[in-house]
Chain A
Amino acid sequence: MRRTLLPLLLAAALLGGCSTAEPAPAPVPAGGAAALPGPVPADLALRPAPGTAPAAPAFTGALTDGTPFAAAELWAQRPVVLTFFNSWCTTCASRQAALSELARSYRDRVVFVGVAGADQADEVQEYLRAHRVEYPVILDDQQTIWRSYAVREPPAVVLVAKGGALLRGWPGGLDAPTLDQRLRELVLAGQS
């Protein structure tokens, strides 16, 4: 009797598994439209950009999920930090968790935008998830944005004022505490 029941139980278990299996929903790509900022806080106070600052090169591109992106639309409302990186960049990786946390602390006030140059989309996703990057990220496959900012290798950081003035660039990048200090000195009013 026991021998007869066993195959039946196994078959029932298998069929039950088949009937309840549903395709898992595709994960939302990190760095896509869901990472775009919300409205600018009403109490955001900014320093005026120096009149001598040149205009930052405006650019368009696509976020990791294909969403069209225009940098000028973003910096028309608030300061923007561009972080040029690659998924294979060891220096980028060593600093990224702290930069991700800094970006979260400034969310909606100063927007961070990642620019991955000539990288593999799946490896960029792995990097963004590993380092909890929650800001928008552009895939710059032809490195046209990199070239327009004269970025020769990652990491590099660029600070653009509200309105599009190019305030500072740091070839080689910088760590989160230093960037935080520079944001207070260069863009946020009453912070330094």
Chain B
Amino acid sequence: MRRSIMALLPLLLAGATGCGTVGAAQEAVSPTTVRVLVRDINIRAAGVDCAGTGPYQHFHNRAPFRVLDPDGAALASGRLAAGTAVAAFAEDLGVERLPTYCEFAVGVRVPQRASYRLEVDGRPALDLTPDSSEGPALVAVVPS
């Protein structure tokens, strides 16, 4: 048994060294938040979980997403969490259910690129715009 381990040791070491090299060669990535606002003006209570409606019904809890670079290469992927309903108007309408948008936010780590796109559930990708007004973020605002 001891002989077998001794024979395997160089291979194991080579493998470990290989992993370290790959890791060292990886691009630097930065944390950011992908934020998508679906402006569907659906009637909801502010703050409740929501999903996209109309042409954005594929925006919902558990929907798979990918952040793409300008060449279409995937930089990050995951699954969306449920959206959160946010009031569409600042005025207090005095009712529980009011016109809202559905906002999605998900944290990712991506390398620096000239531009980014967001693909959800295999549908055509949306352009993401850098925005730092509330911390580093890549945002998209879509009509519905």
Q: Spell out A's residues near B (CB within 8 Å).
A: 86, 88-91, 118, 143, 152-154, 171-172
Instruction: Report, as a range, how many residues of chain B touch the other chain.
Output: 10 to 19
Whether B44 pairs with A172 at a CB distance below 8 angstroms is yes
Q: Which of B55-71 contact A (CB under 8 A)?
A: 57, 60-63
Whether B51 pairs with A171 at a CB distance below 8 angstroms is no
Q: Taking the nearest CB of chain B, how far is it from the CB of A107, in angstroms?
A: 29
Contacts of B53 in A (CB 8 A): 152-153
Of the candidates B40, B45, B48, the one whose C-beta lies within 8 Å of that of A152 is B40
- CA distance in complex: A171, B42 (Å): 10
Whether A172 pairs with B48 at a CB distance below 8 angstroms is yes
Least CB separation from B83: chain A residue: A153
Least CB separation from B63: chain A residue: A88
Q: Is the interface of A mostly helix, strand, loop or mixed?
A: loop
Whether A90 pairs with B57 at a CB distance below 8 angstroms is no
Check B54 for interface membership: any CB of A closer than 8 A. yes
Whether B49 pairs with A152 at a CB distance below 8 angstroms is no
Q: What would be 29 A-B contacts, judged by CB atoms less than 8 Å apart? A: A86-B51, A86-B60, A88-B51, A88-B60, A88-B61, A88-B62, A88-B63, A89-B49, A89-B60, A89-B61, A90-B49, A90-B61, A90-B82, A91-B48, A91-B49, A118-B57, A152-B40, A152-B42, A152-B53, A152-B54, A153-B42, A153-B50, A153-B53, A153-B57, A154-B51, A171-B43, A172-B44, A172-B45, A172-B97
Q: Spell out B's residues near A (CB within 8 Å).
A: 40, 42-45, 48-54, 57, 60-63, 82, 97
Whether A153 pairs with B97 at a CB distance below 8 angstroms is no
Contacts of A88 in B (CB 8 A): 51, 60-63
- CA distance in complex: A91, B54 (Å): 19
Given known contacts A91-B48, A91-B49, what 9 new A-B pairs fall within 8 Å (CB)?
A86-B51, A86-B60, A88-B62, A88-B63, A118-B57, A152-B40, A152-B54, A153-B53, A172-B43
Q: Taking the nearest CB of chain B, how far is it from the CB of A29, in angstroms?
A: 21
Contacts of A86 in B (CB 8 A): 51, 60
Least CB separation from A94: chain B residue: B49
Contacts A153-B57, A172-B97 given; indicate if A89 touches B44 (C-beta within 8 A): no
Least CB separation from B51: chain A residue: A153
Contacts of B52 in A (CB 8 A): 153
Contacts of B54 in A (CB 8 A): 152
Q: Taking the nearest CB of chain A, how far is it from the CB of B30, in angstroms?
A: 29
Contacts of B48 in A (CB 8 A): 91, 172
- CA distance in complex: A143, B42 (Å): 18
Least CB separation from B79: chain A residue: A88
Least CB separation from B57: chain A residue: A118
